[in-house]
Chain A
Amino acid sequence: MVSEATNAVNVIIETLPRFEGYVYPNESGPHPLWGFLIVIYPYITGLVAGAFIMASLVRVFRVKALEPMYRLSLLTALAFLLCAPLPLLFHLGHPERSFQIMITPHLTSPMAIFGFVYAWYLMAVLLLELWFDYREDFVEWGRITPGWRGILYRAFTLGVTDTSEKAIALDMKLSWIISIIGIPSAFLLHGYVGFIFGSIKANPWWGNVLMPIIFILSAIVSGIALCVFNYMVLSWVRRRVLDMRCLDVMGMFLFYALVVDAAVEALDWIHRAYSAVEGFHVMEYMARERLFYTLSIGQVTVGTVIPLLLLGALQVLRKRVPELFRKRMYFASAVLILIGVFAMRWNVVMGGQYFSKSLRGVMSYKLEFAGIEGWFMGMILLALPFVILTVLIKLFLSEKLPTGGHVPHPPEPVLAAGGGAPGAA
């Protein structure tokens, strides 16, 4: 009897190593089915959508103060968009068959539309808008730049070298139209990512009508935060003075976006708790125990409450806070929000897989270093957009090239004297 009991314990330990309670046998694999790569995927896509919304504040909503950010935010969106499909592709069991999504899409699947939404967003929105905005500069740069860079700029004109006033006016008009189309497209791109999760009714954590909206709002927040981060780092690297008015306005938009985002996410939890939706007892347990660090600390405290306090204080006391402190507070808020939104993506993707669909058990999972779903790979994928962005900035936001405007640092070399150093300051 004793040996039998020991045996039983052994069997349970062998088969269900990291589980508490009961999980369906098919759920008891060594890793969650969707791992770190799928955490990164919505994060990157969200940054794209958010950065684009930031750019459209200039183009569509004519926020003059943000003009220095226009091109930088579009290029940020492009750099991240180029990397967005990579985590998805890497996590497939058969990446070589991924083209099937494009040639034989199953139209009732939220995932099937990704290829089209992605292609639409990249080709019809982002690249076109950039091209119309840059065309005049390409013509000029192609003329004055020697060597391979000159060839590159001339190639980018696509042979359209007309810089008459009429042609430029047409460029601007088309760019404006594309930007208007781009706003719903950005919402579509990321709302659709939210829908991938929100449409899964099997999973009470995911299956939620608010999910696409939460994804869009958190995307806007993270996108603006990324633009703040990029602008401050770029200014610091170049030793250039920050445009404080631009930074203040970005901070203001960041604050209001964060208020709306936090309110809707809180509403989601309040609604779930009050209506005692199926499985809420498991979700509550997870928020308290399994996701304490990423949810209560990472997402709520670090990513929401502290930035809300910092940015909120700046809305009220902007004029009384010295510039240096303001810069530091903006930078800190941006970084904390970027961490918080990443934690939010983790909580959605992992949280949904940390409990069994039997609602009788929870699991734990420790992120590994190596492997395709390891955090090393994740760091590479998160760093890659920044590498691409560096190249794009070198090519298209060069301080040495004359330009009409909409750039963070106008060509006249102004040496920084102590300012614009968020990290060092």
Chain B
Amino acid sequence: MKHAVTRRHMLVALGGLLAGLASLAAARTARGAVKKVLVTTRAPRDYDPHQHKWLMCFDVDKCIGCGLCVDACKTENHVPAGPMYFRTWIERYIIKKPEPGSGKTRGDVLVDSPNGGRDGFPTTTVPREEILKAFFVPKLCNLCEASPCTQVCPVGATFDAPDGAVLVDPNYCIGCGFCIQACPYGCRFLNPETRVAEKCTLCYHRITRGLKPACVEICPTEARIFGDLKHPVENDPVQAFIQKHKVHTLKPHLGTEPRVLYANLDKEVR
């Protein structure tokens, strides 16, 4: 006969369960504490990333290419000067009319981003009558759901924060450049001073204190829309944007599931 389940057995099992749960909780707390000490994010101590899910949207039609966002970003985040270091930048697309009788919908596509668009854009040399359409596209980290940059980091220095930001711990990065190669959108660069990978953090030091990212704050046409999916405010701009527009993401075929949404995107934008 199998031995009966006695009260003694039950008490021992319950005790074991409680001890297990207690130590699990302690281990989780300890892990959290260690993470807080070891991971550098510039967020305030009381900020809980599990309570937020940040999102950035762009209305391409609203961007005027003034470059204030690029300048604000560089200033706010001490991004190295020079035309090859940007956390955000603006691209100008000039799509020429097709040659008459060519049977094409559009002609040559000229793209440029002088100094990331920081100083605005010089007048184009393409004559006005040859232009089919022209527009500006702001770019930054696409906040991928399946971020390839995080996947390939050999030491885990770059990570997906629970609030949707993709961050780099500058004190941990070994500067191998793998994440820069893996980002399909060209959003990362190797900081020449610190020799570690750098990218848009959504101004993590600002958003974790209730402020907007610098680029959003300064945009004069509200082409950049920023919000928290977990705490929508009244007349939430992000919700309104998603409702109003048909939105698109960049390079969706790569399976990176970008969370940055674009309205009025042209097929030429990559």
Contact B189 A29 (CB under 8 A): yes
Q: How many B residues, CB 8 Å from partner?
A: 53
Selected contact of B151 from candidates A1, A5, A21, A109, CB within 8 Å: A109
For the A-B complex with A109-B178, A360-B270 known, give 6 more contacts whose Cβ atoms are closer than 8 Å.
A8-B122, A25-B186, A34-B181, A196-B178, A352-B181, A359-B270
Which of B49-57, B169-177, B225-233 makes up part of the contact surface?
A: B169-177
Selected contact of B152 from candidates A34, A200, A352, CB within 8 Å: A200
Q: Which residues of chain B have C-beta atoms less than 8 A from A359's C-beta?
A: 270
What CA separation (Å) do A21 and B270 show in the bound complex? 14
Q: Is B115 on the interface with A (CB-CB < 8 A)?
A: yes
Decide if the interface of chain B is mainly helix, strand, loop or mixed: loop
Give, as a whole number of angstroms, the nearest-CB distance from B147 to chain A: 11
What CA separation (Å) do A80 and B114 show in the bound complex? 45
Q: Which residues of chain B have C-beta atoms less than 8 A from A27's C-beta?
A: 84, 186
Contact A92 B270 (CB under 8 A): no
What CA separation (Å) do A15 and B112 show in the bound complex? 11
Q: Which residues of chain A have C-beta atoms less than 8 A from B175's C-beta?
A: 92-94, 97
Give, as a whole number of angstroms, the nearest-CB distance from B159 to chain A: 9
Contact A24 B186 (CB under 8 A): yes
What CA separation (Å) do A11 and B92 show in the bound complex? 15
Give, as a whole number of angstroms, the nearest-CB distance from B41 to chain A: 17
Instruction: Indicate whether A202 sits within 8 Å of B254 (C-beta atoms), given known contacts A25-B113, A34-B177.
Output: yes
Give, as a whole number of angstroms, the nearest-CB distance from A24 to chain B: 3
What CA separation (Å) do A199 and B122 show in the bound complex? 39
Give, as a whole number of angstroms, the nearest-CB distance from A31 to chain B: 10
What CA separation (Å) do A70 and B155 show in the bound complex? 38
Q: Is A7 on the interface with B (CB-CB < 8 A)?
A: yes
Contact A109 B187 (CB under 8 A): no
Selected contact of B196 from candidates A93, A106, A358, CB within 8 Å: A93
Instruction: Indicate whether A22 sits within 8 Å of B111 (C-beta atoms), given known contacts A29-B189, A100-B172, A202-B183.
Output: yes
Selected contact of A22 from candidates B112, B154, B182, B185, CB within 8 Å: B112
Q: Mark B84-101, 1 if CB is under 8 A from A, else 0.
A: 111001010000000000
Considering residues A4, A22, A112, which has the most beta carbons from chain B within 10 angstroms of its beta carbon? A22
Contact A4 B114 (CB under 8 A): no
The size class of the interface chain A forms with chain B is 35 or more
Contact B154 A105 (CB under 8 A): yes
Give, as a whole number of angstroms, the nearest-CB distance from B86 to chain A: 5
Q: Mark B186-211, 1 if CB is under 8 A from A, else 0.
A: 11111000111000000000000000
Contact B111 A358 (CB under 8 A): yes
What CA separation (Å) do A51 and B173 show in the bound complex? 34
What CA separation (Å) do A91 and B91 show in the bound complex? 31
Q: Which residues of chain B have C-beta atoms less than 8 A from A310's C-beta?
A: none
Selected contact of A111 from candidates B83, B114, B152, B183, CB within 8 Å: B152
Q: Which residues of chain A have C-beta atoms less than 8 A from B261's C-beta?
A: none
Q: Is B125 on the interface with A (CB-CB < 8 A)?
A: yes
Residue of B whose beta carbon sits closest to that of A196: B178
Q: Mark A105-122, 1 if CB is under 8 A from B, else 0.
A: 110111110100000000
Instruction: Indicate whether A112 sits within 8 Å of B154 (C-beta atoms), given known contacts A22-B113, A27-B186.
Output: yes
Residue of A whose beta carbon sits closest to that of B83: A15
Selected contact of B114 from candidates A11, A26, A92, A357, CB within 8 Å: A11
Selected contact of B84 from candidates A5, A11, A29, CB within 8 Å: A29
Give, as a whole number of angstroms, the nearest-CB distance from B79 to chain A: 11
Contact A106 B122 (CB under 8 A): no
What CA separation (Å) do A278 and B184 show in the bound complex? 13
Contact A358 B186 (CB under 8 A): yes
What CA separation (Å) do A200 and B180 show in the bound complex? 10
What CA separation (Å) do A278 and B252 show in the bound complex? 13
Residue of B whose beta carbon sits closest to that of A359: B270
Q: Is A203 on the interface with B (CB-CB < 8 A)?
A: yes
What CA separation (Å) do A206 and B125 show in the bound complex? 36
Selected contact of A33 from candidates B153, B172, B180, B195, CB within 8 Å: B180
Q: Which residues of chain A have C-beta atoms less than 8 A from B111's C-beta?
A: 21-22, 358, 360
Contact B174 A109 (CB under 8 A): no
What CA separation (Å) do A21 and B185 show in the bound complex? 17
Q: Is A128 on the interface with B (CB-CB < 8 A)?
A: no
Contact A100 B174 (CB under 8 A): yes
Q: Which residues of chain A have C-beta atoms less than 8 A from B152's C-beta?
A: 108-111, 199-200
What CA separation (Å) do A94 and B197 show in the bound complex? 11
Give, as a whole number of angstroms, the nearest-CB distance from A89 to chain B: 10
